[in-house]
A and B are shown apart, each in its own frame.
Chain A
């Protein structure tokens, strides 16, 4: 029964069908193209959904209605926005470094897309599964800073420049914390392969956040803070602090180029939450308790990708809550927080985790 609700069953059907009817290279080619298309679509759809959710949720936070005109409850609002942004003119600006200016948004979108592709969305729904998956995630997600710096530099605008400089300082600092927090868990799991990490977390108390107890919880919190900072969202939205720098590094962008930044920002929020889910909260694993067979079966009837999106959605909600409650930090406070608090705590935490692993003090 359960196998019918999970993706691998249908994927295998498709795979077999193609391979029996076509030579292997053709079947593979079709599969690659299909996967690419599905990922692209998912990327766009998730971003649109997130934009809608953020606007609606923020509306409730702020005692407003949020979008409510296009479609029932304004559901199609972000689709309309997407069409608008696709049709908008890309304004040519004098005195910019043309090549870098037009190149910059691609760094942003490509980096977030590369990260997106490596997330395990559900049982068998995992496109790229490297042995050093976590390393890969950290590496490609850092590429986006190049897009930000290039945008700020190439725009020939002082606001953009200040925004980009802030962003550079912020990103490099917080990347460190995020990576260290993930390393803490890698110490616990003993592998960087995302699929193995998810497989290890079968029962609830095997979720890394519980299995590694104290250091894992600390790492989780630090990862959320650092991840939040990496996505340039309030209270860490200094690079685009609209009340100071109008729009920061993307001030001069319009049309689809701006759309790329916008899309990447929302997707990065999702990606950070997705990585946190995978590494700390058991990924797509449903809530399972050893010995409670009836309960486990019932939980298994909820498809694994629903679990993944549910957990990720919960973290995204946290991020929204923080975003719309706190005022913005100042650049020196931001760097203080990282270098004076998060990083030292992280280092001690890493050592603590090593000790726990050596003496086997984690939950077996």
Chain B
């Protein structure tokens, strides 16, 4: 990392380097693209993975933070920071040409903070309607419902995108058509059985072949990040469960760790063990749903019910443990809500035996099926480079041969105490992603097996103050959720509420890659590939 620091100072001598939390480099907006490009393509450690893009209202200025990482070693982290003082017409340079994942993130930042990005190919607002008044994440946003009344009239979708490009004559505002004039456009979603939620793909077809997908999102956007700014940390915890509801517990674990790290709360070891155990159970049930829904998308309804049947066993354990089933509200700051019940270990052991048997059954039922193979093999191919550029992590990223499991590369909690193998396949097709999930169920079972009998005695919760205030600073936490990397960023100004809170959603990266990997595939395969990517919409529509 020293080398990187040297490189940064060599490229942009007036960069401000700060190393209190993470290596943070502040540069002026005109130098950002140059520095980003240097870091992206440097020889020693190319920072080709854009983990998070965080827009923030710094009061005087509007800024963006880029959290970078390297695909070779995802534990390496680096934060770039830039800002613009023009609040009326803020402009920054886009980094879409370096990291594709920046595209959707920049559109989100435009919708939320009003910063427009020069050279971004499609500068429509993400999540919000084009005619939305105000920028919600700005501190001076007026949330009066009269300004943005609920519109009851049906409005046509306009497939024309504004953008700003840099030409030799200076900046030029222009518009581009998303689709060609005589395209046969079909709306898949927002209400569609296979969109796994309220996702809307505007798809142009050539017969059965997908020509282009335009992603519309935000139908269930709840403004969680904005809401969090006025709530205390224990209150915010409840939102995490409602992001990716299928890996609710893992999300919550991430926020808890972030707050604990900032407030320097020591979490008892017993609580750590219980957290990891529930995380892995959560991961298994999430993969079971993913497996079932993917099979259902391909038309095998029986497989779906089988997945739900085994998931029920986990939900029963959760119910005994916490009273909740889907959203279990189990992690709290400093530990877990309740101690484990008598017979927890016995239940887990029984579950492990049952689940191992069932995974074999799944393979017998579906994995080897001729039709299933024809519907998954060599379809929706995502190369490793694309996966990294689109920041597709989790089983999907590992299906493309990218070793990105944070449990191994950046072990948090007690993941350094367990032995397991990272599941990597290099085919990059839907089948690799499918098999990865089933194999990850097995790894999770291994982890469970290693931990369940060794839960140490002690407290299950650390004593915390009644009001948790975080010291001033920026805090990050990345965890491996069921769908990929989940991240939390908190900027605290010493209050009991965060100044800015941002969640990195793994599903957003998955969806952003969909237009790429579905191009030239059949309409039926679009659905199957969507199933193999396994995105959860509330995670995108934060």
Contact = CB atoms under 8 A, between A and B. Distances in A.
A330 B302 contact: no
Interface string B164-187: 000000000000000000001011
Contacts of B305: 62-64
B525 interface: yes
Interface stretch (A44-52, A184-192, A237-245, A274-282): A237-245
Contacts of A331: 208, 522, 524
B360 interface: no
B12 to A, nearest CB: 50
A117 interface: no
A244 B527 contact: yes
Nearest to A157: B186
Interface string B86-125: 0000000000000000000000000000000000000000
B186 A158 contact: yes
Interface stretch (B22-30, B365-373, B485-493): B365-373
Given A330-B524, A331-B522, 16 more contacts: A159-B186, A162-B186, A237-B299, A243-B299, A324-B301, A324-B302, A326-B371, A327-B298, A327-B299, A327-B303, A327-B372, A328-B298, A328-B300, A328-B371, A329-B374, A331-B208
6 contacts: A238-B524, A242-B193, A243-B296, A327-B369, A328-B375, A329-B374
Contacts of A16: none
B507 interface: no
A158 B184 CA distance: 9
Nearest to B303: A327
A325 B186 CA distance: 30
A59 to B, nearest CB: 10
Interface in B504-532: 522-525, 527
A325 B302 contact: yes
A241 B301 contact: no
A61 B527 CA distance: 25
Contact of B301 (A62, A162, A244): A62
Nearest to B531: A243
B524 A241 contact: yes
Interface of B: 184, 186-187, 192-194, 205, 208, 295-303, 305-306, 309, 365-366, 369, 371-372, 374-375, 522-525, 527
A31 B205 CA distance: 55
A61 B302 contact: yes
A304 to B, nearest CB: 35
A105 interface: no
Contacts of A64: 305
A332 interface: yes
B509 to A, nearest CB: 23
Given A244-B194, A327-B369, A332 B522 contact: yes
B164 to A, nearest CB: 34
Given A63-B306, A162-B523, A238-B524, A327 B193 contact: no
A121 B297 CA distance: 39
A196 interface: no
A56 to B, nearest CB: 15
Nearest to A158: B186
A329 B371 CA distance: 6
Nearest to A61: B302
The majority secondary structure among interface residues of chain B is: helix
A63 B309 contact: yes
A177 B527 CA distance: 29
Contacts of A328: 298-300, 371, 375, 524
A244 B522 CA distance: 11
Nearest to B366: A327
Most chain B CB atoms below 10 A, which of A238, A326, A327, A332: A327
Given A158-B184, A246-B193, A324-B302, A330 B525 contact: yes
Given A327-B298, A331-B524, A243 B306 contact: no
Between A62, A244, A331, the greatest number of chain B beta carbons within 10 A of the residue's beta carbon is seen for: A244
Nearest to A64: B305
Contacts of A158: 184, 186-187
A62 B186 CA distance: 33
Interface in A63-87: 63-64
A243 B297 contact: yes
A16 to B, nearest CB: 53
A333 interface: yes
B316 to A, nearest CB: 16
Contacts of A61: 302
Given A62-B302, A158-B186, A324-B302, A330 B522 contact: yes
A158 B188 CA distance: 11
A259 interface: no
B186 to A, nearest CB: 5
A235 interface: yes
Contacts of A62: 301-302, 305-306
Contacts of A159: 186
Given A62-B301, A246-B193, A326 B369 contact: yes
A325 B306 contact: no
Interface string A308-332: 0000000000000000111111111
Nearest to B195: A243
Of listed B205, B296, B305, B525, residue having the most chain A CB within 10 A: B305
A234 interface: yes
Contacts of B193: 242-243, 246
A333 B301 contact: no
B527 A326 contact: no
Top 8 A-B residue pairs of the complex, sorted by shortest distance between their CB atoms = A328-B299, A327-B298, A327-B300, A62-B305, A243-B194, A327-B299, A330-B524, A158-B186
A211 B524 CA distance: 42
B350 to A, nearest CB: 18
A244 B302 contact: no
Contact of B375 (A162, A246, A327): A327
Counting chain A CB atoms within 10 Å of each CB, the highest count among B208, B295, B369 belongs to B208
Contacts of A243: 193-194, 296-299, 527
A1 B48 CA distance: 88
A118 to B, nearest CB: 32
Contacts of A235: 299, 371
A21 to B, nearest CB: 56
Contacts of B295: 327
Given A63-B305, A330-B524, A330-B525, A325 B375 contact: no
Contacts of B523: 162, 244
A246 B374 contact: no
